[in-house]
Structure 1
Amino acid sequence: MKILTVEDLVRKFSLKVLTGENKLKQQIKQSRSHRPGLEFVGHFDFFPTERVQILGRKEITYLHKLSIEERQMRIGNIVKYHPPCFIVTAGQEGLTYLTQYCLEEGIPLLCTNEPQPTSEFITNLDDYMLKTLAPAIAVHGVCINVYGMGILLRGNSGVGKSETAHTMIGRGHRLVADDIVVLKKLSPRTILGTHDGKTKEFLALRSIGLLNVVRLYGRKAFQDETRIALDIELTKWQKNSLNNELDHEAKYTEYMGVQIPHIEIQLQPGRDVAGLIEAAANNWLLKQQGYSAAEEFMQRLESDI
């Protein structure tokens, strides 16, 4: 898990530092922010003190309406828990009292520079923190986005993963990562595939060398991340090992406790591997919609009996 600090948020969102310049190395351990509401009226039973605290127009307007004595009490009750930082959305004024308390307690007080609805900022902030703090592993393979869904291509070195990805790019699909794929667990059912930063936009082809797919094929050939929907393993051809079954038994590969549907595609000269991957992707999408070609075929057979 990557270490996330207040300083990372300052850089990512171009935040203005009002207080706590010497506390920006403070670590953030929770992937969701919090808007103190009940806490301002004295209810602290479930106060998530380790979360980034967001103060928008609603919170600041409430504080402005309080008397000086009551405002000091309300703010004092919150800052004593020492959250990682406070972030005030742009457009809020009259924050002298808040600045004073954060300065005294050594808590970073930050402010957004761009006029943006608080809810929108929170969505972007939480999304960034979730992806940054998510448990992650690196696997050898290639990640591509096909028809809007992420596919992880795996197989032994030299089996043709990168070459297959190059063919997929020519068909209008997008490269996400080559050689090293970083998998992040965003939820008990969601695995995100991305690159490690160093290999971003690069695709290595034997006999050709290293390619920058964006420079060669344009921005449409690459995207930073994708949700993994299929795990496809490319293997060498084994004679008499494939049958024309109506439907294959579902298989899964587990990554960090999340099961991803698994398909094996055997390679042989003349096989349209890219076309098979497209077919697998479309078939998976149809199954998500509740359709099974095998079930429909069996229903047709039964209707003729």
Structure 2
Amino acid sequence: MKTITVQSLTEKFHLEVLAGASRMDRVITRPRAHRPGLEFVGYFDFFPMERVQVLGRKEVNYLLTLTLEERKLHIGNIVKYHPPCFIVTSGQQEIPYLTLFCDQEGIPLLRTKETTTEFIAKLDSYLVKALAPEISIHGVCVNVSGIGILLRGKSGIGKSETAHTLIRRGHRLVADDIVVLKKLGPTTLLGTHNETTREFLSLRSIGLINVVRQYGRRAFQDETRIVLDIELASWRENSLNNELELEPQFTEYLGIKIPHIEVQLQPGRDVAGLIEAAANNWYLKQHGYSAAEEFMQRIDNKMQ
């Protein structure tokens, strides 16, 4: 199970530490934050205590309407569950008993100047990606006209060279050599780099190049949703048929099935052009269009 520390969260969002500074090593294991509303009125049946607890103006204003004894009781009831941390938004100053209880229990109490809605949106997005299950594979990841593609194949087959051609045609590199795949949901697979290889592309006979330095910022992006898995393979005689529509094939990563295409290499074949065609064809299919179906419809119309 992936985890991040409260300390790393604090550094990421430049949070102010109000209490519990000695326990910044506490770990966060669950994505998405929680606003303890029902819990403040005593309902704990479905309290997600493993999540970061965010207190906005509504929660704090409610506490201020209570008597001192009621505040102490309601805050104490939540703190005893030992969530990873509490974060107060909108730079709120009046946070009765929170500082005292968090110091006593060793739970970090943090504060941000951002509004609750804006902060939770950023926090949830960060936590989902940071805690997502992930694997690293050998390959190249590119974004072709907004469509994320994973290029695979044996070492030396031409993955990086193909990516270079795509970059020169206006598409973007995401990762070369090592591609990090993250599962963000049941059907969402994110491709990114491992930081070390960020912006770098390795070309045989040339060496390492920085695509941003050579081709500008448009040549690179940090991450992309993977929707196509394309394998570059050596040419095999009589193995390709000119079929109207190929039988769908899939490759599975982290339990997510991604459409798979094999592109065989031969001198003179425009591999980058074929990848562009595959990307555009996938896009059209998502919008309900099939060239094969239209072709067959034309034949039926002529026969009739």
TM-score (norm 2): 0.98
Establish whether residue 287 from structure 1 lines up as the match of residue 290 from structure 2: no
Separation of aligned partners in 2, 1:75 and 1:3: 26
Which residue number in structure 2 is paired with residue 78 of structure 1? 78
Q: Over residues 255-294 of structure 1, what are the superposed CA-to-partner deviations in whole Å (9 max), with x where a residue is unaligned?
A: 0110000000111111111111111001001111111110
The 1-side partners of 2:192 and 2:296 are apart by 40
2:75 maps to amino acid: I
* Partner amino acid, structure 1, of 2:34: H
Distance 2:117 2:245 in 1: 46
Q: Deviations over 1:237-267 (max 9, x none)?
A: 1111112110000000000110000000111
- For 1:159, the equivalent position in structure 2 comes to 157
Structure 1 residue 2 displacement after superposition: 3.6
Alignment deviations for residues 95-133 of structure 1 (CA, whole Å, 9 cap, x no partner): 242111111111100011x4x221221111111111111
Structure 1: stretches of 5+ with no match in the other structure: none
Alpha-carbon separation, structure 2, partners of 1:64 and 1:270: 74
**Residue 177 of structure 2 is aligned to residue 179 of structure 1:** yes
Q: Which amino acid aligns with 1:240?
A: N
The match for 2:59 is 59
1:197 aligned partner? 195
Equivalent-residue separation in structure 2 for 1:13 and 1:290 (angstroms): 42
**Letter in structure 2 aligned against 1:144:** V
- CA distance in 1 between partners of 2:85 and 2:3 (Å): 16
Q: 266, 270, 273: which one pairs with 2:271?
A: 273
**Count of residue pairs brought into register by the alignment:** 303
For the residues of structure 1 that align with 2:23 and 2:91, how far apart are their CA atoms? 24
1:20 corresponds in structure 2 to: 20
Letter in 1 for 2:284: L
Give the drift of 1:3.
2.8
How far is the alpha carbon of 1:70 from its aligned partner? Answer: 1.1
Q: Once the two structures are superposed, what CA deviation does each residue of 1:168-216 show, in whole Å capped at 9, x if it has no partner?
A: 1001111000000010111111111001111111000000000011111
Instruction: State the percentage of identical aligned residues.
Output: 69
1:47 is displaced (CA, Å) by 0.3
CA–CA distance in 2 between the matches of 1:207 and 1:246? 39
Q: Distance in 2 between matches of 1:273 and 1:59?
A: 57
Specify the alignment match of 2:47 in structure 1: 47
Q: Equivalents in 2 of 1:168, 1:120: separation in Å?
A: 36
Q: What letter is aligned with 1:86?
A: F
The offset of 1:90, in angstroms, is 2.6
Report the alpha carbon displacement of residue 58 of structure 1 after superposing the two structures with TM: 1.2
Whichever residue aligns with residue 139 of structure 1, its letter is I
The answer for the alignment partner of 1:214 in structure 2 is: 212
Distance in structure 2 (CA, Å) of the matches to 1:91 and 1:73: 24
Higher deviation after alignment, 283-292 or 98-107: 98-107
Alpha-carbon distance in structure 1 between the residues aligned to 2:202 and 2:239? 31
Query: Which residue is equivalent to 2:29?
Result: 29
- SS of the equivalent of 1:277 reads helix
Q: Distance in 2 between matches of 1:174 and 1:11?
A: 30
List per-residue Cα deviations over 1:66-119 (Å, max 9, x = no partner). Answer: 11111111111110111000001133121242111111111100011x4x2212
Q: What is the one-letter code of the residue matched to 2:117?
A: S
Output the amino acid matched with 2:237. Answer: K
Q: Deviations over 1:124-182 (max 9, x none)?
A: 11111111111111110000011111100000000000000001100111100000001
Q: Report the residue type matching 1:69 in the other structure.
A: E
Match of 1:68 in 2: 68
CA contact (8 A) 2:183 2:189 kept: yes
Question: In the aligned structure 1, how far is the partner of 2:39 from the partner of 2:190?
Answer: 35
SS class of match (2:184): strand
Question: 8 Å contact 2:91–2:111 — kept in the other structure?
Answer: no
Gaps of 5+ in 2: none
Which SS does the other structure have where 1:187 is aligned?
coil
Matched residue type, 1:264:
E
